[in-house]
Structure 1
Amino acid sequence: MQNRQLPNQRWEIYPEFPAKAQELAIKNNLSPLLTQVILNRGIETEKQVKEFLDPESMDLPDPLEEFSQLGISLELLENAIASREKIVICGDYDADGMTSTALLLRALKWLGAKEVYCDIPDRQKDGYGINQRLVEKFHREGVQLILTVDNGISAYDPIKKAQELGLKVIVTDHHDIPENLPPANAILNPKLLPESSPYSSVAGVGVAYILAVSLAKKLGKSQGLVKQLLELCTLGTIADMVPLKGVNRRWVKRGLQFLPNSDIEGVKALIEVTGINQGKATLKPDDIGFKLGPRINALGRIDEPQIVINLLTTDDIEVGKIQGKRCDEINKRRQQLCEEIQQEAIDWCEKNQIDLQQERVLVIVQPNWHHGVIGIVASRLVERYGVPVFIGTYEEDGENIRGSARGIPEFHVFQALEFCKDLLGKFGGHKAAGGFSLPAKNLPELRSRLREFAHKCLKPEHLKPLLKIDAQADFHQINLDLYRQIDVFHPCDKIENPLPVFWTPNVQVIDQRIVKNEHLKLTLAQNIGSQRTTIKAIAWRWSQYYPLPAKIDIAYRLQENIWNGNTTIEIELLGVRNSTESPSQSPIALVKAEFYHNQKRYTCGLYPNDSLTELRIRNAEGKVLAIPLGKTTGLLGKTREDAREINILQPPFSTLVEAAQIALEKAK
């Protein structure tokens, strides 16, 4: 597990469709580079493109038609408000859960609830989600209606206990559906909807927003409320890193425009303490993901989440400012803890010389780590090692472990936890992330079980950090106009609509140096004929790769640099590999073409390969069929290492090859 000279990555470059990209570029007045990115996101039809560029044009169904138990939930809440029943909102201590809690607390008070308060489980004492201790406490306090937010879907026993005690329960959650649904009076969860629903990917705060707005409209009291709720919905949705598609894209795009002129005193204070609102007409997701969100999350991770609830529900300017500064201070402490634990985890991995090719999953448990930040460290270890990470620390009694998990694209975290459920206490999550607890004595068996699960779904070639690359770009195409056009992609997310990633081959490294002991700053150049174009670049936390070779291929995002009133475009390096200038590494096509076959899009080309010429056909998923000319067999796969041999005379390959040959003839 020693560092190599270059990042140990696997590059997945989307196939190019120049004709289709050019057509979209002309219709939408965009660079073909960016319309290629739109195609990469699976957006092809005229209606899809319109809704992507203008989410307000979406024709949304009524949530009452989508969520079968929304009507029951509204009736329960309306009756509770009218009867002055005591309502408790049982939230969660992450940004999604805390914004959800604040949103419903604001809404219910606005709508006339006199007896409503919130209770967030204690991270150290309770762990995630509603539990039996809290249910019994609510019963003693005279609560009549429990409203869970961002949790509850896996809490079968606690909710059963609530029903036995005569408490009504509405579960609002967005986590994966367990085998047995809890016996609540009503359940609102987008995972119960078909994937085609525009509401299928909403976060916990999105479910809370739907419930609150629907209730406000039913009671005729939505005027003046919805904008505030949408601001909170935007904060929680981005911080929870759900896909910004469907209704999420519409809400977040609108909410980002509202936030610079927020009506919520706590949000104003947070924006002020981060300094991000310097004359901006709208915020970007990164403003929340890297600045506002972490400050909200920090309180739930290592301090008291109630401070965030107070911050987001207060109408007092001074209280907002005090709590905003508190969030900033705690976030600095959270950053320090993350750095310390991350380094300890790396040191442990190096000392134990873990063979990740054999293990295929990293399970690391150490004492005295803070429960609240190990999830962040897990994400960083995934980025470093390219394998799923299960990280934990011991409870105070030393007999139990609590942990967090983060996955890679080919590994489903929640399914892995279910595979080990007989070893675990509580657990939950989704494909990319999860949380769990277990008796410490079960740790050896957990390692073995997770290794078994990983071997079922992961191949050796999966065990490198994956870098998905949208399109090849030349340096002369990178300018302020292109950067500003990227605004059409906002709001972006890390899952289904990330910021565009470009790559450029055969780049010269003119200058490179380490800054602040950990980052790499470079000047790069590209020569095309007699034209030479240079550009500045930054590679965050890449000091271990210094110095880079003199000639490299690079993968990167664009970023804006404003200095002394001047704006320039620089690049943020995400990936580097040895230059593909050598024909044996990545030959240039002799001729290329694009074609459709059975209503699917392909690219094809003739490529030199040693002394032969190969016909290569690539589909939209990145699989390539490579056939030496004159041969009747070829290789099919994403890489030659995992490719299988096929007979091209047999259908469906025979007709596919024929269609490619026709397309190449037309392209000559």
Structure 2
Amino acid sequence: MLRPTPEKQSDRSSRFPNQRWQIYPEAERVLELAQSSHISPIVSQLLINRGVDTLEAFQAFLEPESPVLPSPIDEFPDLSLSVELLVQAIATNQKIAICGDYDADGMTSTALLLRSLRWLGAQVDYAIPSRMHEGYGINKRIVEEFKSEGFELIITVDNGISAYEAIARARELGLNIIVTDHHDIPQQLPPANAILNPKLIAESSPYRGVAGVGVAYILAISLAQKLGKLQGLVKPLLELFTLGTIADLAPLTGVNRRWVKRGLNQLPKSQLAGVQALIQVAGVSGDKKEKTLKPDDIGFRLGPRINAVGRIADPQIVIELLTTDDPGIALERAMQCEQINQQRQQLCQQIEQEAIAVVETLYKTSLPQDRVLVIVQPNWHHGVIGIVASRLLERYGVPVFIGTYEDEQHIRGSARGIPEFHVFAALEFAKDLLGKFGGHKAAGGFSLLASNLDALRSRLATFANQCLQPEHLKPLLKIDTQVSLDRIDLQLYQQLNALHPCGIDNPDPVFWTPNVQIVDQQIVGKYHVKVTLSPDGVTKIKAIAWRWRDYYPLPARVDIAYKLRENSWNGNTTVELELLGFRLPTQSQLLFSPTAPSSAKFAYKQRQYSCGFFPTSALLELRIKNPEGKVLAIQSGQSTGLLGTRRDDASVVDLSHPDFYPLVQAALSALNAAK
């Protein structure tokens, strides 16, 4: 039976992902490079999509240990000076201070340098500024406190490149200071003794993409080599490097790919008590057959538990976790991380819902004109608004600047950008309205006077309109290649292992399949949708769609975009899909042959219908009528129809919806049989 009160098409379209699909074209050299490298054509296409497009590049990518790396001393201009400053400080028993950051990159960097400097015999301690009261980066208070406590050398990790005033104060007080950072370079460099930042070295360097923990790792290893005390230090530092690099979403290219691959193999058998405790508490099993972890194990399990502490609690918990050798203390700190992460999840859900309500009420209509979302509310927890910014970006497809009031006069916030929008450049564009700010292309942080909020909103809209077109205002989904569902099996999944470890700049492969039938779907948990798909009505494959409750129920037939995931249950291993997007099938438009009008009657779901083809002034039209006189009219070549008793007040309906698609197919079958 046709629904008496169908949804309007505008209501249905709001339940489709707000996406733009970018599908890579099939490369000309796929087969040639596949045969030369002894890999499958699908893997060959995936590598070409990632800019790996020569036989030499294929070999270097597939065997990341094979290229000969240049010495870091030759790549980083101030690395030799940094090592000499530390050698002298250790030799003369100077007190060394580390100023870290409260995200996973900053905390793993801090722990890495603490472990290495203590191993090398240094007097060393650390401080991390308060996220809630001071914000990001070294500041004058910390510098002056270090001075008063007798420290003579400061090392910043994952911060400092934009802290001109604080570093100038350190030099004024007679302190030596080494800045290790990876954030974008400001117009004026700070007056440090030495600066280590991959943004200051050649873009072609394999070290160019290291995160803050990567810079700390290079410094620590170089120092240990200089002192001849490398034995026993590399493995624990490599594990901390791996945790921080993946958690900070650093690109998994160059040395990051090489070192992270090593680190993922080491982590399951880690000798670090804190890492083992964290793996145990988070329930991470990794790949038992390969005895390795995957980037997702860190990105979605271990990293968030570390990050949560820096967001809403005391970073000292994580520093102790990653530097202790006592299993009891490690387990206690890991359990604290678990509890804090649960609190963080609850805060995120609450603030996200409040933010959506504000946007829908106040800003949604202005987004197409402003092309950027600036949203500030009181009483939000500053530690989690960055996560909420990412979720709003995913939902609305525009750059997001989100903030909360520190008091009546001051606002502090976080920003997230889309590919065509450079966050740090936007903050520079509005720097006269801001207090402190920093970041890179994809994300940043900032503070400002509350009185400047309206001016900031206007300035950012001006910047966004300079670099964004209307077509950019949908989240971009990059799709590697088309695959038929009947080709998806364990063999294909295992072939994709050649790309691991996957992450930023080497993403998990994304495939698409057109015109797939959804034979079953249900909500699981609070927000997720589990579906069963079929390309032909016989073959079936399971899929999960995270946070898709808003799109439920999905249409009966869709084009789908997805990643592959392995599922092991009761000793059986299968491949499932993780859905990333869907759209109405490009092949679902109904095409009617221009034959003479015909009609038929048919039964569908124990009810009688009549149907027929009718010529109109434009196209041939199929009409289906139910016993109550309601008509569904569909013109040839369309994927929507009109439903009602009169054309002038009929509702537009989506023909792929499960209420209509089977009915239309039944009518077409009846008409074919009547010929």
Relative to the length of structure 1, the TM-score reads 0.85
Looking at structure 2, the residues matched to 31 and 521 of structure 1 have their Cα atoms a distance apart, in angstroms, of 30
Q: Please state how far the C-alpha of 1:23 moved relative to its aligned partner.
A: 2.5
Counterpart of 1:48 in structure 2 is 57
- Measured after TM superposition, the shift of residue 353 of structure 1 is 4.6
- 2-side partners of 1:385 and 1:161: how far apart? 43
**How far is 1:381 from its partner?**
0.7
Match of 1:646 in 2: none
Query: 1:503 aligned to 2:503?
Result: no
> For each residue in 1:332-367, what CA deviation from the matched residue of structure 2 results, as whole angstroms up to 9, or x when unmatched?
111111111111101111122522111100111011
Q: Which residue of 2 aligns with 1:373?
A: 384
Residue 303 of structure 2 aligns to a residue in which SS? Answer: helix
Match among 400, 404, 427 for residue 393 of structure 1: 404
**Which of 163, 172, 176 is the equivalent residue of 1:168?**
176
| Residue 358, structure 1, aligned to residue 364, structure 2 | no
Return the match for 1:568 from 567, 574, 578.
574
Deviations 1:23-68 (A, max 9, x none): 2333334332221111100101112111111110121100000001
Q: SS of the residue aligned with 2:65? A: helix
Deviation at 1:533, TM superposition (A): 2.6
Distance 2:352 2:198 in 1: 34
1:37 and 2:43 matched: no
CA displacement at 1:583 relative to structure 2 = 7.5
The structure-2 alpha-carbon separation of the partners of 1:578 and 1:184, relative to structure 1 and needing over 3 Å to count, comes to same
Match of 1:80 in 2: 89
Give the letter for the 2:375 counterpart.
I
Which residue identity is paired with 1:276? V
Asked if 1:292 is matched to 2:298, the reply is: no
- Return 5+ residue gaps in structure 2 as ranges: 1-9, 592-617, 619-675
Matches within 5 A, 1:448-527: 448-493=458-503, 495-527=504-536
- Measure, in 2, the Cα distance between the counterparts of 1:318 and 1:291: 21
Is structure 2 residue 146 aligned with structure 1 residue 138? Answer: yes
SS of the residue corresponding to residue 57 of structure 1 reads coil
User: 2:417 maps to which residue?
Assistant: 407
Deviation, 1:242, is 1.1
Contact 2:416 2:443 in 1 (8 A): yes
2:37–2:59 contact (8 Å) kept in structure 1: no
Q: Distance in 1 between matches of 2:351 and 2:258?
A: 38
| Corresponding residue SS for 2:579 | strand
Q: 1:401, 1:437 within 8 Å by CA — same for their partners in 2? A: yes
Secondary structure of the equivalent of 2:210?
coil
Task: Tell me the equivalent position of 1:189.
Answer: 197
CA contact (8 A) 2:37 2:58 kept: no
| Residue number in structure 1 paired with 2:331 | 321
The Cα shift of 1:517 comes to 3.3
How many Å apart are 1:86 and its aligned residue?
0.8
Residue type at the aligned position of 1:547 = P
Secondary structure of the 2:29 match is helix
Q: SS where residue 322 of structure 2 aligns?
A: helix
How far apart in 1 are the matches of 2:329 and 2:228?
A: 31
Q: How does 1:201-350 map to 2 (within 5 A)?
A: 201-277=209-285, 279=288, 281-350=291-360
For 2:515 and 2:589, locate their aligned partners in 1 and report how far apart those are by CA, in whole Å: 12
Larger radius of gyration: 2
Q: d(CA) in 1 for partners of 2:40 and 2:515?
A: 23
Q: Distance in 2 between matches of 1:48 and 1:333?
A: 45
- 1:190-226 CA distances to partner (integer Å, 9 max, x unpaired)? 0001110000110000000000000000000000001
Give, in angstroms, the shift of residue 490 of structure 1: 1.2
The CA RMSD over aligned residues, in Å, is 1.7
Q: Which residue of 2 aligns with 1:117?
A: 125
- Aligned positions, number: 580
Aligned to 1:620: none
Q: Distance in 2 between matches of 1:323 and 1:261?
A: 19
- 1:435-450 matches, cutoff 5 A: 435-450=445-460
Q: Deviations over 1:513-563 (max 9, x none)?
A: 222232111111113xxx953211111111111122221111000111111
For residues 424 and 353 of structure 1, the distance between their equivalents in structure 2, rounded to whole angstroms, comes to: 22
Q: Which of 558-567 and 447-456 deviates more?
A: 558-567
2:160 to 138, 152, 162: 152
**Partner Cα separation in structure 2 for residue 29 and residue 276 of structure 1:** 33
Check whether the contact 2:109–2:158 (CA below 8 A) recurs between aligned residues. yes
Is the contact made by 2:515 and 2:588 (CA closer than 8 Å) also made in structure 1? Answer: no
Q: Whole-Å Cα distance in 2 between the matches of residues 74 and 277 of structure 1?
A: 39
Report the alpha carbon displacement of residue 11 of structure 1 after superposing the two structures with TM.
0.3
CA positional deviation for 1:387? 0.5
Q: Contact conserved, 2:558 with 2:582, CA < 8 A, in 1?
A: yes
Residues 302-359 of structure 1: CA distance to partner in whole angstroms, max 9, x if unpaired? 0000111111000111111111111111111111111111111011111225221111
Asked if the contact 1:33/1:473 (under 8 Å) is kept, the reply is no
1:216 and 1:222 in contact (8 A); partners too: yes
**Structure 1: 5+ residue stretches without partners:** 586-609, 611-668
CA distance in 2, matches of 1:290, 1:478: 25
Distance in 2 between the 1:176 and 1:135 partners?
22
Distance 1:303 1:452 in 2: 37
The equivalent residue for 2:21 is: 11
Change (3 A) 1:392 1:353: closer
Letter in 2 for 1:165: L
Counterpart of 1:126?
Answer: 134
Give the letter for the 2:410 counterpart: N
Deviations 1:360-390 (CA, angstroms, capped at 9, x unpaired): 0011101111111100110111111110000
Identity %: 66
- Output the amino acid matched with 2:570: N
Q: Secondary structure at the match of 1:171?
A: strand
**3-state secondary structure, aligned to 1:560:** strand
CA distance in 2, matches of 1:561, 1:454: 42
The offset of 1:7, in angstroms, is 1.0
Larger CA deviation: 458-467 vs 547-556: 547-556
- Residue 556 of structure 1 corresponds to 562
Match of 2:437 in 1: 427
1:414/1:433 contact within 8 Å kept: yes
Q: Distance in 1 between matches of 2:40 and 2:518?
A: 27
SS at match of 1:253: helix
Write the letter of the residue equivalent to 1:394.
Answer: Y
How much does 1:481 deviate?
1.0
